Amino acid sequence: MNIMLLRPIAEEEQSLYNQMVHHPLQSWEWGEFRKKTGLHVERIGFFDNGKLTKGLEITFHPIPVLGKTAGYVPKGFMPDKEQLSALKHLGQKHNALFIKLEPNVALPASSTSAHNEIGLFLVDQGCQPGRPLFTKYTFQLDLTKTEDELFEQLASKTRYNVTLAHKKGVQIIEKSDEAGLEDYLKILAETTSRQGFFAHSPDYFRQMWQTLKTSGMMRIFQAVYENDVVVSWIMFKFNDVWYYPYGASRSIHREVMASNLMMWEMITVGKREGCTSFDMWGSLGPEPNSKDPWFGFHRFKKGYGGELIEFLGTYDLVLNEPLYKVFRMVENIRWKALRLKARLLR
């Protein structure tokens, strides 16, 4: 007879917990980082006959004016009744209006009928489709292939640009230290100003580095041309998967295609370090709009031959239906204002 138990994860179970979760945003270290940004963090373990089989990390964010919080579960395991029951309990503890779920549940973009069944289950359990914080799609690259095979599957234009950057003398170096982070922040400020999108604050990234640097999960790389750092990327490594969450580039020397070489070098670094998959952290869908502001990023990533993956999407587990409706109405107005501001900045 199986005996199921749910309880908080203890400090001494950190290593075991990390083995049971499947994304850096569910890692113990990420939770410690989010605590330092002022959030409440809960970690719960799901035990079968005394053995930890699944783990889940939830952050609680204050909602201004309403006096409530919003819970967030990024990249958790497949939602089920046990998970949702535990989340409702934690939501009540933290006076949550809702808990946003963005499960790390993915299928090839060409075969997603199973997503519909999961979506119906979630709606039946009190969830509603929510405003996404994570894109629903990404490109994933199989790093178990040989380096020659990986290079061959690049789009012809991408392969040309990688070769050009090599010939021009672009150098890719690792700079995983405070100086490398400060270089990244300078380039990020230029990138956001040029492209008109919003990014986390410098203090957010500095706190991230201070918390994650000893774990080996967060790495910083630079593309250097004629002694100028022209591209800087932050990479994550977690449980044999390589991730590209943050990147920034300068407007100078764009003709040397440094970003193309950076991506190729990140593929080879991930492979050398034993990663089996490279998650490029986000893209548009299977029929992208060429006028979408993220179309250039999508096309850039597509050039490396990864598979387009569709995640389950975003669902809000609603704990106070009347107030949630008011919140969503105000949220829609706020996001329209932010999009207008972004257009004006471009």
Along the 346 residues of the chain, how does pLDDT read in single tens digits? Answer: 566 799 999 999 999 999 999 999 999 999 999 999 999 999 999 999 999 999 999 999 999 888 999 999 999 999 999 999 999 999 999 999 999 999 999 877 766 566 788 889 999 999 999 999 999 999 999 999 999 999 999 999 999 999 999 999 999 999 999 999 999 999 999 988 877 677 899 999 999 999 999 999 999 999 999 999 999 999 999 999 999 999 999 999 999 999 999 999 999 999 999 999 999 999 999 999 999 989 999 999 999 999 999 999 999 999 999 999 999 998 888 766 656 555 544 4
* Cβ-based neighbour number of residue 243 at 10 Å: 23
Whether the CB-CB separation of 233 and 208 falls below 8 Å is answered with no
Q: Tens digit of pLDDT for each residue in 264-298?
A: 999 999 999 999 999 999 999 999 999 998 999 99
∠ CA 46-48-51, nearest 5°, is 85
Q: CA 221 to CA 231: how far, in whole Å?
A: 8
Q: What is the pLDDT of residue 110?
A: 67
How far apart CA 72 and CA 77 sit, in angstroms, is: 13
Question: Which pairs count as long-range contacts for 54-58, CB under 8 Å and 24+ apart, including other chains?
Answer: 54/20, 55/9, 55/17, 55/20, 55/21, 55/26, 56/21, 56/26, 56/83, 56/86, 57/21, 57/25, 57/26, 57/27, 57/28, 57/30, 57/31, 58/87, 58/90, 58/99
**Same CATH fold, 144-269 and 4-134+313-345?**
yes
| Buried b or exposed e, range 124-147, using 16+ CB within 10 angstroms | ebebbebeeebbbbbbbbebeeee
CATH 3.40.630.30 fits 144-269, yes or no: yes
**Helix 156-168 × helix 258-272 angle, to 10°:** 100
| Domain spans in the chain, listed from the N-terminal domain onward | 4-134+313-345, 144-269
Cα-based distances in Å from 211 to 8, 20, 59: 22, 21, 16
The Cα–Cα gap between 243 and 188 comes to 18
pLDDT value at residue 337: 63
Taking Cα atoms as reference points, which of 132, 115, 60 lies closest to residue 282?
132
The edge-to-edge listing of strands for the beta sheet with 40-48 is: 4-8, 40-48, 51-63, 68-74, 96-102, 315-318, 127-129
Q: What is the CATH number of domain 4-134+313-345?
A: 3.40.630.30
